[in-house]
Amino acid sequence: MNLIFEIGKEGRGLSLLPKCDVPVTDLPENLKRQSELHLPQVSENEISRHYTKLAQRTHGVNKGFYPLGSCTMKYNPKVNEEMAALKGFRQVHPLQDESTVQGSLEVIKMTEDILSEILGMDAFTLQPAAGAHGEFTGLLLIKSYHTDRGDTKRTKIIVPDSAHGTNPASAAMCGYEVVSIPSAEDGCVDLDALRDAVGEDTAGLMLTNPNTVGLFDKNILEITKIVHEAGGLCYYDGANLNAVMGQARPGDMGFDCVHVNLHKTFSTPHGGGGPGSGPVGCKAFLQDFLPGARIKGNIEDGYYYEDSPKSMGSVKMFHGNFLVVVRALTYMLTLGKEGIPEASANAVLNANYMRVKLAKKYEMAYDTTCMHEFVMDLSELKHRTGVSALDVAKGLLDYGVHPPTMYFPLIVHEALMVEPCETEPREVMDEACDTLLELYDLAEKDPEWLHAAPHNAVIGRPDEVGAARKPVVKYTWE
């Protein structure tokens, strides 16, 4: 299909601005742009059709099932969008005086308080804009704490080998050396390996629970104890919070700080990759180090910002992705104390429901009760038929289902990680299971068909090697 630069004509455009009603100020010659500026020259009709075509070439949660493991692609309620569009939220300047933004401050304060209760923390900042940004902020909290105590020999962060790639990358951004520890046979933390790894140089541990293979680590209290006894802190990566919210709290598991993904657990739209929001929470002893100003006061006497002298500074301009926070708060208030555990219980139920159905043919990486997601291991299938996890994933595309996460975590070789979420009707999951089971049979009967999949998408498999070898990263005018 055409790029937007390949439609329209010289001279086309929209009528958007009135004539300037004050004398026009000219830019001095030496400041003026010299080079030509190529931008689309299109009518509104052409823009509308172009993006409608692009939308049709995009799979979203609203189009169909999206069981992308570790991404929590749940339904994004419409009321959240309507609330974020309110003029009182959209049309407010970030540097307005506190007295004129009491509504925004109340939104932030309520969200911080609700998150604190769900996570078992004492304080939150909403400044981080994404999960990885939250990890970075959480590790800076740990670094601030050790630095403040003059404990500068703690230079290492322990990360299990099953962790998401952002964990070690975030640790490296904070100047830490990453110590990767192997997972035990059952996919959980190997306690002996952890005991061997901790020491006087341990700054902290980064962990998700349930972990990246979808299992709740039953030794969690022992794990956090080992790290604490060595003088390190425990960081909870909230990627998998949708499994446990209202059932168990990281704060009660011994974690000192956490991040959560509002765009996963709290139903704000992923937007093709963002904007998200990755609030960071902590226990009281860390709260002075949080980034940004803290909100003080109350609804009766008014809220105000207060700087903390020990704050790490700021990880982002202003007060975070505020409109994302508005959506998440709307969701949290909608669900309330009953709906939050109901959501996690059904997320876990749906995952186990699919797991048991698929286990009839597929090998499970860990054949036990999972939390909100589970990992299938297609190594044996690949060995026998040549059909890989990638091939099965591409086969799914022809059935209107977004494939599960492929090749993650790295400790499972031909991994497909399935996370259905609580918002899927039973028959959608039934159909997806039938399709996956059918593809399993097809792998045995007609592997070529799967190697060549997808057959009905708008494009076939793209040449990724060619794309990386000779990168074309922008359109060039002739």
- d(Cα 139, Cα 127) in Å, to the nearest integer? 14
- d(Cα 61, Cα 44) in Å, to the nearest integer? 27
Q: What character string, x for contact with other proteins (CB under 8 A) and - otherwise, covers 408-447?
A: x-------------xxxxx---------------------
Contacts of other proteins in 13-32 (CB under 8 A) = 13-14, 16-17, 20-25, 27-28, 31-32
Place of tokens 């970030």: 94
Q: What character string, x for contact with other proteins (CB under 8 A) and - otherwise, covers 78-97?
A: -x-xxx--xxxxxxxxxxxx
| Coil/strand/helix, residue 338 | helix
Nearest approach, Cβ of 384 to other proteins (angstroms)? 25
- d(Cα 93, Cα 77) in Å, to the nearest integer? 26
Our CB check for other proteins shows the closer of 59 and 361 to be 59
Among 40, 182, 199, 297, interactor with other proteins by CB under 8 A: 40
Q: Is 276 in the site for other proteins (CB under 8 A)?
A: yes
Among 316, 379, 431, 437, interactor with other proteins by CB under 8 A: 316
Q: Is 44 in the site for other proteins (CB under 8 A)?
A: yes
Our CB check for other proteins shows the closer of 104 and 384 to be 104
Q: Residue 361 in contact with residue 440, Cβ under 8 Å?
A: yes
Contacts of other proteins in 208-227 (CB under 8 A) = 215-216, 218, 220-221
Our CB check for other proteins shows the closer of 360 and 445 to be 360
Least Cα distance to 233 among 157, 341, 325 occurs for 157
Our CB check for other proteins shows the closer of 16 and 383 to be 16
Classify residue 134 by burial, with Cβ atoms within 10 Å: 0-12, 13-18, 19+. buried
Question: Residue 68's beta-bridge partner residues?
Answer: 418
Place of tokens 């307005």: 96
Question: Residue 160's beta-bridge partner residues?
Answer: 181
- Backbone φ and ψ for 55, nearest 5 degrees, come out as -60, -40
Among 226, 348, 358, 365, interactor with other proteins by CB under 8 A: 348
Contacts of other proteins in 156-185 (CB under 8 A) = 164-166, 168-175, 178
Our CB check for other proteins shows the closer of 267 and 388 to be 267
Segment holding 218, helix H or strand E? none
Least Cα distance to 415 among 440, 441, 382, 384 occurs for 382
Q: Is 293 in the site for other proteins (CB under 8 A)?
A: no
Which one of the spans 187-195, 264-272, 280-288, 379-387 is the region binding other proteins (CB under 8 A)? 264-272
